[in-house]
Amino acid sequence: MNSKVAPTSEPWQVRLARYSFKKREKLAILRYLLRDLPPTARCLELGCAKGALSYFLRQMGGWWVSADLDTVHVQETRRVVGTDVVQVDTRGLPFRPESFDVVVSLDYMEHIEDDRACLDELCSLVKPGGRLIIGTPCTGRLYLLNRIKPRLGLRLEHYGHVREGYRPEDLYQALLYRGFEVERVVTYARFLTEGIEMLMNWYYVRKQRRRASPIRGTPRDGVIAPTSEADFQTLEGAFRWYRRVYPLLWALTRLDYLAFPLRGYALIISARKLGTPMWVRFHEARKNADLGRQSANP
């Protein structure tokens, strides 16, 4: 596996990621969480999408493998990072249990029908003492923009989602139950940041409506942003304009931390694997209690 990436010019998806408010915040969180990652650490990224985050993760240290369900995503990621990109399927992941020091899965579980089985597999791949980092959208009554999106025509299908997202406390409990100690829960993309990203998604979907149905046969992560270099090239004019106003919009999103000091619309949770999952400990304790009662009443 090769963790070095040295392209002569940046791929289109990396250029696009550098001008994404949410991805900038996400990358800042990941750089903090992985700041002490040794170069020999075995790392898995499940849900690599089009390879933008794969590009940046490989610059944070470690020895990375990227994986995704979608054929187009795997092909695009290979163009970005070269080797060590694997296509997986719904039958299970082709990795040995407890074979990774770090497992990262960002914006993936909300796309998967059987998310419990997915989380079980993610947890099983982490070595004892290793870390699991999961990122998802947030859901709940207070997330106003989540109710506005359908009114703009941005349905779950456009995002490739099968559910809106997760509550931080639910993921916390799910990881605790599976034998992990949660070390960090961070939310990001507050109201203004999420609102600007939502409007950009709306613009792109609206621009593409002249094509065939945007829902049928789409990549796993939907149709809210370019899915190929050809798609990106159709937006070159708009992208040049966007780069000019980007500093102003970026400054505007910083007001999130003054005007909207609440949870963000996305979360990242980092947890360390301690050992035996809680449900196994509970089952063993119950079995031992039953044996104790039987021996007391022969």
Evaluate whether residue 272 is within a structural domain. Answer: yes
Q: Which tens digit of pLDDT belongs to each residue from 106-161?
A: 999 999 999 999 999 999 999 999 999 999 999 998 899 999 999 999 999 899 89
Residue 192 lies in a domain: yes
Find the domain containing 28 and state its range.
Answer: 12-290
- Give 160-181 as a DSSP string: T-SS--B-HHHHHHHHHHTTEE
Dist. CA 124–CA 175, nearest whole Å: 12
In a domain, 202, yes or no: yes
User: Is the residue at 298 inside a domain?
Assistant: no
C-alpha to C-alpha distance for 273 and 261, rounded to whole angstroms: 31
- The structure's pTM equals 0.86
CATH number of the CATH domain containing 176: 3.40.50.150
Quote the number of domains for the chain: 1
Q: Could you tell me if residue 4 is inside a domain?
A: no
Beta-bridged to residue 182, according to DSSP, are 271
Encode the chain (298 residues) as per-residue pLDDT tens digits: 454 444 447 899 999 999 999 999 999 999 999 999 999 999 999 999 999 999 999 999 999 999 999 998 999 999 999 999 999 987 888 999 999 999 999 999 999 999 999 999 999 999 999 999 999 999 998 899 999 999 999 999 899 899 999 999 999 999 999 999 999 999 999 999 999 999 999 988 887 765 554 444 456 677 888 888 888 888 888 889 999 999 999 999 999 888 776 789 999 999 999 976 665 555 555 555 554 555 455 5
Q: Where are the beta strands (DSSP E) in 28-179?
A: 42-46, 63-68, 85-87, 100-106, 126-137
Domain assignment of residue 77, yes or no: yes
Phi and psi of 5, rounded to 5°? -130, 120
Name 257's Cβ contacts closer than 8 Å, sequence gap at least 6. Answer: 190
SS3 282: helix
The vertex-117 CA angle with 112 and 120, nearest 5°, equals 120
Q: Is residue 7 part of a domain?
A: no
- Asked if residue 136 is part of any domain, the answer here is yes
